[in-house]
Amino acid sequence: MSKGIFFVLGIDAATWSIVTPNLHKLRNFKRLIEVGKSKELILKEKPISASVWCGMFSGKLPEEHKHGSYVVNGEIVKREDIKVDFIWDVLEREGKKVKALNVPFVVPPYSFGVNFKPIGFGLPTNEKEWEEELERVTEKTKLLIEEKPDLLIAVYTLLDRIQHFHWGEDYVVEWYRKMDEKIGELIFDTGFLDVEEDNELIVISDHGFCSFGEAKVQTLPEHTKEGKLNLKGDHHENALLITVNVNYEMKRPQDVFYAINFFASKNLY
Ligand SMILES: [Zn+2]
C-alpha cells in the first residue's frame, strides 16, 4: 500500500531558453522552481520524441529499446512493436494503480488505464487543436489526480508542434503562458503538493528547442502528416526538468523510470 501519488507531468519540447527569460510571465513555473529542484537535462541520445519518451518510461537506452521513429518503412509503429516493459506494465503486475495519459512515444499517443482520444492523431496542427489538447489533457488529469493512483503520467504535446511552426515569435511565449495556467490548475489548485502524504512530482520535457538551422538532428519532416512546411524550429539536446520531493538523482530521461521504481519500492508497506 503506497501513500502518495507519483506524478510525472510531461511537456513535450518545453525548453529553459523560453522559460527562464519569461519567468515574470510564468508564475506557476516560477513557484515550481522555488519549491522544487530544477535543472537542464542534457541528452546524450538524439532528441527524437518517440525515442526519448520510450526510454523515459522503459528505463532503456535507444540501442536497447530500438524505437527511433513514429514511422518505419511507411508503417506507423505501434506499442506492440516495441519489445519492452514500460513502468506501467511493471507496476501494474505488482498490484499498483497506474494511469498514463497521452504519452507520445507512438502516434497517436498512448494511454494506459485511461480512455482518452488524442487530439489531431497526436499531431495537433492548428490553434483550435492546440487549445483542445490543452483543455482536455488538463481536465482529464484533474480527474485522475482525484482517483489517487500510485503513478500518474500525463503529457502535453502541443508545444512541440507550436515551436516547430512559430519558433522565434512572441506567439510561442503566449502558449507557454497558457501552459503555465494549466500547470497552476493541476499542481497548485488541486493541492497536490499540500497533502500530508508525500506526493512526488516530476515535470519534464523530452528535449529542448532551437531554431531550425541550429538543430543537430532534423526531426519533423519524417513524421508529419502535412509534409514539408516552413519550419522555424527544431529539437535541441537540452531538456527541462523540475522535481519536487523526488529523492533520486536524475541525469538522463531513463532515470524517470528508476525514480518511479524507487518510489514504488519504498512505498510497499
Ligand atoms: Zn518531443
Q: Which of 88-102, 138-152, 218-232 has the lowest mean pLDDT?
A: 218-232
Whether the Cβ atoms of residue 120 and residue 139 lie closer than 8 Å to each other: no
DSSP category for residue 189: I
Distance, CA of 160 to CA of 215 (rounded, Å): 14
Distance, CA of 88 to CA of 101 (rounded, Å): 11
Asked whether the predicted pLDDT for residue 81 surpasses 80, the reply is yes
Distance, CA of 74 to CA of 204 (rounded, Å): 30
Residue type, 60: K
Q: How many whole angstroms from 207 Cα to the centroid of ligand 1?
A: 6
Q: The pTM is what?
A: 0.93
Domains of the chain by range and CATH?
A: 6-266 (3.40.720.10)
Asked whether the predicted pLDDT for residue 244 surpasses 70, the reply is yes
> From start to end of 128-184, where are the E strands?
151-156
Q: How many whole angstroms from 68 Cα to the centroid of ligand 1?
A: 12
Q: For helices 27-35 and 170-183, give the axis angle rounded to 10 degrees.
A: 60
**Segment of 66-75, 190-199, 221-230 carrying the highest mean pLDDT:** 66-75
Phi, psi at residue 64, to the nearest 5°? -90, -45
Q: How many whole angstroms from 205 Cα to the centroid of ligand 1?
A: 7
Distance, CA of 237 to CA of 217 (rounded, Å): 9
Summarised one tens digit per residue, pLDDT across range 115-148 is 999 998 888 889 999 999 999 999 999 999 999 9
Asked whether the predicted pLDDT for residue 222 surpasses 50, the reply is no
DSSP category for residue 205: -
**103: which strand partners?**
110
What average pLDDT does this structure show over 97-122?
Answer: 95
Name residue, grid cell 507531468. Answer: 9
Predicted pLDDT at 218: 67
Predicted pLDDT at 132: 96
Whether the Cβ atoms of residue 39 and residue 239 lie closer than 8 Å to each other: no
Pairing of strands 238-244, 37-42: antiparallel
| Residue 92 CA, distance from chain mean position | 21
- What proportion of the chain, given as a percentage, has pLDDT over 70? 92
DSSP category for residue 194: T
Q: How many whole angstroms from 211 Cα to the centroid of ligand 1?
A: 15
- What proportion of the chain, given as a percentage, has pLDDT over 90? 83
Q: How many whole angstroms from 37 Cα to the centroid of ligand 1?
A: 22
Number of residues in the chain? 269
Q: Which of 101-110, 216-225, 242-251, 252-261 has the lowest mean pLDDT?
A: 216-225
Q: For helices 158-166 and 127-146, give the axis angle rounded to 10 degrees.
A: 160
